[in-house]
Amino acid sequence: MLKVNALKNNIYFPFVKLATSNLACAISPRSLGNMSYVYAGTENSLDNRRDFLKNLGVDYRSLVCAKQVHGSSIKYVKEGQQGKGALSDDNSIPDTDALATDARNLPLAIFTADCLPIFLYDSLTPAVALVHAGWKGTRDNITVKTLQLMQERFGSKISGLYIGFGPAIRSCCYEVGEDFKNYFSTGLIRKGNHSYLDLIQLNKRQVLEAGACEDNIFDSRICTSCRSADFFSFRKEGKNCGRMMSIIMLK
Ligand SMILES: [Zn+2]
């Protein structure tokens, strides 16, 4: 039985028992500062990235980032694409909300503040992927599409994939409008006159239906809004909110 998750020095590791010599995998806490080149005060973002990644044995200059658009497009990243979005947002991979690779020393990054970061790890092939799942990506099945890409391109067995749900806004805090019942037949929780969305339950249900194994799913159980002292929360802080970085890399 694998330990579900751990906060070590306030850094969240989705697969702590798997984060051995073969895998770097973590999300930055608020205490390490804003990691985005686009949102909030960005003057320290490069230094913040370097400090966070140094602790994980990852070269910040190799980072591959996506220009996230709340879509459901996934990009396969290959050897030679290191550094896209590492030093500037300008050359980030455009129009993408999930990244996947089977190359070593190619760190993938996504940025969130309430949206759900999902870490995917195929220890056999090996291969990794990272998904940015907000409500739109979840509605459009981005996580399952990423599993399918891993299956088709890498030969990954979906039942053997490790799947980690990072810190995100949870159904305790994620109030949504009445119109969401047009998009989701499950995952909406009614409390009084208010509706709340459970992004984690929705994504979990989708990956289980696609063939994932429940024993391989790890959930941080952290709500970014409840724990906004430790994590950035867009809902709580508004447009000047910084972003956390999730990264995954095969060593
Ligand atoms: Zn909450």
Provide the pLDDT confidence category of residue 18 given band limits of 50, 70 and 90. Answer: low
Q: What's the CA-to-centroid distance between 142 and ligand 1, angstroms? A: 23
**pLDDT tens digit sequence for 25-62:** 999 999 999 999 999 999 999 999 999 999 889 999 99
Q: What's the CA-to-centroid distance between 168 and ligand 1, angstroms? A: 9
- Strand-strand pairing, 162-165 and 217-219: parallel
Please, which residues bridge with residue 245 across strands? 111
Q: What's the CA-to-centroid distance between 80 and ligand 1, angstroms? A: 40
Q: Which amino acid is at 166?
A: G
Distance CA 46, CA 53 (A): 11
The predicted model gives 198-202 an average pLDDT of 97
* pLDDT at residue 4 greater than cutoff 60: no
Distance CA 39, CA 26 (A): 21
Q: What's the CA-to-centroid distance between 89 and ligand 1, angstroms? A: 30
Q: What's the CA-to-centroid distance between 195 and ligand 1, angstroms? A: 14
**pLDDT tens digit sequence for 203-225:** 999 999 999 999 999 999 999 99
Q: What's the CA-to-centroid distance between 250 and ligand 1, angstroms? A: 32
CATH class of 6-250: alpha beta
Note residues around ion ligand 1 (Cβ under 5 angstroms): 170, 172-173, 223, 225-226
Give the domain ranges of the chain. Answer: 6-250
Q: What's the CA-to-centroid distance between 222 and ligand 1, angstroms? A: 8
Q: What's the CA-to-centroid distance between 40 and ligand 1, angstroms? A: 22
Q: What's the CA-to-centroid distance between 148 and ligand 1, angstroms? A: 31
- Residue 42: name the closest of 50, 51, 55, 33 by CA: 33
Q: What's the CA-to-centroid distance between 116 and ligand 1, angstroms? A: 13
- Residue 207: name the closest of 154, 149, 153, 141 by CA: 141
Residue 34 CA: distances (Å) to CA of 20, 46, 103, 104, 195: 27, 9, 27, 26, 30
Q: Residues 78-107, buried b or exposed e (16+ Cβ, 10 A)?
A: eeebbbbbbeeeeebbeebbbbbbbbeebb
Q: Residues 170-188, buried b or exposed e (16+ Cβ, 10 A)?
A: bbebbbbeeebeeebeebb
